[in-house]
Every structure is written in C-alpha cells, then in structure tokens.
Amino acid sequence: MPSIKHILFDNDGTVVDSEIIAVRTMLRKLEPLGLQISEREYSRRFPGLREREIVAILDQEYGLALPDDFWPQVREEHIRLFESELQAIPGMFHLFTALKTKKSMVSNGSVQHVERCLRHVNLLHALDGRIFSAEQVERPKPHPDVFEYAMKQLRLQPEDVVVVEDSPTGVQAAKSAGLKVIGFLAATHIIQEDHEETLRGLGADYIATDTPGLENIFRQLNIS
C-alpha cells in the first residue's frame, strides 16, 4: 500500500463540532420570520451548504422577508454561541496532536474562520500543514477546486493523501479531485440515519462513526 504523506482535514463538523452551532444560530434567527424547522430537518436537508445558499433555498420556498440587519444579527448570534459552545469533536484533540503524518485543512470556510476555530479548541499549534479555503478558488465544494488547489500547492499526488470529510459536499469534492476519502460521522449535527449511506453513495472509501474508528482506519492505512 502506498505511503500516505499528508492528511487533508475538513474543519467544520470534522475537527471542530461547529456545524451544530451554525444550525442553531440560523434556526434562532429564522424563527421570528415565521419559519420553524427542527434541527434534525435542517441538518438533513442542508449538510455542507453555506448559510447564504441555505437562506436562498428557503427564500424560494417560503418567500422570506429578511430584515436589513439579518446577516449582522446572524453573525452576532454565531459569535456568541461560538465563544460559549464550540468544542473539538470528541477524541479529536488527542488524535490531531498525536499524528506524526503532516496535516492540512481544506474548508469552504474562510482561512480566518478555520484559524479561529483551531485556536479556540487549542489545536492551531498542532497544525503542521496549511489552511486552504474556498475563498482562494473560483468554486466551493462540492466542486473539486479547493482540493485541486491544495494538492498543487503542497506538490502532492492523489495517492499521497487521504481526506477526512463529514459532509456530502465535501466527499463529492474530494472524490471529484480523485482523492481517497474517509467519511466521518462523529459531529453532533449528523443525526440523519441515512448519512452513512449518502457518503458511501458519493464514493467515500471508508466510514468512521467516531474518533476511535478514524484512528483504526488510519492504522489500516499505516498512518501514524
């Protein structure tokens, strides 16, 4: 088996348990507009999509009348919940800090957001690679652009890396870039029963339901 030289981690819902915070933020700001969706339904329908994409879909369906300060309100609420509730995925602090194989972050979020997340959970110091963001390329996940950009910048071949992703959009993007992918199901927001089946259907090569499972797959791939 070829040696894995680099691990490409997604950020939100993979290293940090942040997706549930984004879900709760949006639901709290949509409820006064007369839109009531459960956390389960929201998470089932919109895994991996960005907030503005989600609101655009909901606006088409329900004709939302967004106040002029809607997005500033969303940002303020998200910062408040982020500061009080953000945690690493259970077991991820030990796994991430113990890995000797180099690792980088590949996210639809901004570089600043990823840095802030990793710093908040005391993992930024353990990142020995780089942060790659969809803001650096033309198209976000599910397009492969950000993975292709990361591979070019790191001077790696597809057989050199493995990707860890929690969302359908992330798995689709990584597979479109020709990469080996581990679908990771440990985040709080992953509550839909068919999530594993969805990721497998999109080409995930392995599935880990929690961090010990991810460590086991790393051992199978001779990653230490």
pLDDT digits (tens, 9 = 90+) for 176-197: 999 999 999 999 877 656 889 9
Q: Mind listing the pLDDT tens digit for each residue in 161-173?
A: 999 999 999 999 9
Cis peptide before 158 (omega within 30 of 0): no
Position 2 scores a pLDDT of 66
- pTM listed for this prediction: 0.86
Contact 176, 199 (CB under 8 A): no
pLDDT band at 1 (very low <50, low <70, confident <90, very high): low
Domains of the chain in sequence order: 6-17+87-220 (3.40.50.1000), 19-85 (1.10.150.240)
Q: Mind listing the pLDDT tens digit for each residue in 113-133?
A: 999 999 999 999 999 999 999
